[in-house]
Amino acid sequence: MTQTAKKILVTGGAGYIGCVLVPKLLGKGYEVRVLDKMIFGEEPIKEFKDKIELVIGDSRYVEPKIMDGIDAVIHLAGFSTDPTSQYDPRLTDTVNHIATEHLAKLAKTKGVKRFVYASSCSVYFTLDTPLEPPLYKETDSINPISAYSLSKRCSEQVLLGMANEDFQPTIFRKGTLYGWSPRMRYDLVFNAFVKDAFHKKILTVDAGGEIWRPMIDIQDATDAYISALELPLEKVGGRIFNVAHANWSIGSLAREIQKILKEKKGVNIELDIKPISLTRNYKADTQSFNETFNFSPSRSFEEAVFEIWDHLENDKEHDSNHMQYYGDKWYKQFFETPEGLEFKKHI
């Protein structure tokens, strides 16, 4: 561990990424303060809850003391899917954009230079995106159109507008993640494919399989967050990075998972290819990320498939159809509770 960052604030530390990232930070000797609303419950953090400082709260309204003693921030908290974000675009703006601005101002005021932000490659999709999208570079002009991607772009602009010698944000435009997490998500295409292959032996492939996504293993993404803390600030500060391993068409992804399961498990998986339709579709150029972070995948695609498969096969209590593994379904239920109604009032 470097001496530049010792105590890390991780917002959304009980989420899909946070539940993999926080144990890695602890393993490297960092102290960790987690800020999380805990909407999905505390079960996912049970293995490390007693090793962290847990602050249950809303990043939109958290008080300045959240930054006391903090050396760097990794800001993961917020809505992370298009369906959830479209449900209430104004709420999405407060949760994703306004909260980011609030936290960044608190960090800058307290002299916290490193602020790593979880943005998304979805900012590249716009209405005139061709069926075969270009490789978007971080420096390309963008015109995001969904509530989710707009909230991410607004957050990027806020952070870059605040950047100076005393505040050096690093922005990760992450591709679609995949892989197992204690706070599992099956609303991500790779994870959903493995789950459906296990339970149904059939993969439903939308839009003729022609949708493109930059993708990144959750193990590699979490390693990248740690690298953003440890690399010299002059290399990563004030910069945007496309964080992905490769660009996959959804059809090719389905066929690769089908092939792996046939070869290694002897399982036959059918593909149900749906007609081509207009949907989110984008690719990302990862040269800057690869060079700056000296990136190479930490494990094979096959290992990620079987990590999920083995959990499904061996954990008999794991109900992969439970709505808690699908953000839009879970939030829809949450918004009907007294706590959820109160959460939505603050817009």
Do residues 74 and 21 make contact, with C-beta atoms less than 8 angstroms apart? yes
In one letter, which amino acid is 173? Answer: R
Do residues 118 and 17 make contact, with C-beta atoms less than 8 angstroms apart? yes
What distance in Å separates the CA atoms of residue 255 and residue 87, rounded to the nearest whole number? 32
Q: What is the mean pLDDT of residues 240-263?
A: 97
Judged against a pLDDT cut of 60, whether residue 1 lies above it is answered with no
Looking at residue 203, what is its pLDDT? 97
Strands (E), the chain: 7-11, 31-36, 53-56, 72-75, 114-120, 135-136, 168-174, 176-178, 202-205, 212-217, 239-243, 246-249, 270-273, 283-284
Structure tokens at 329: 């379904």
Judged against a pLDDT cut of 70, whether residue 4 lies above it is answered with no
Number of helices (H) and strands (E) in the chain: give both, helices first.
13, 14
What distance in Å separates the CA atoms of residue 228 and residue 233, rounded to the nearest whole number? 8
Judged against a pLDDT cut of 70, whether residue 3 lies above it is answered with no
Contacts of 332 (CB under 8 A, 6+ apart): 87
Judged against a pLDDT cut of 60, whether residue 289 lies above it is answered with yes
Tell me the CATH class for 7-345. Answer: alpha beta
What is the enclosing helix (H) or strand (E) of 189?
helix 189-199
In 3D space, the residue among 25, 45, 26, 28 whose CA is nearest the CA of residue 37 turns out to be 45
pTM for the model:
0.96
User: Where does the pLDDT of residue 130 fall: very low under 50, low under 70, confident under 90, or very high at 90 and above?
Assistant: confident
Contacts of 254 (CB under 8 A, 6+ apart): 193, 203, 205, 209, 271
Do residues 45 and 25 make contact, with C-beta atoms less than 8 angstroms apart? no
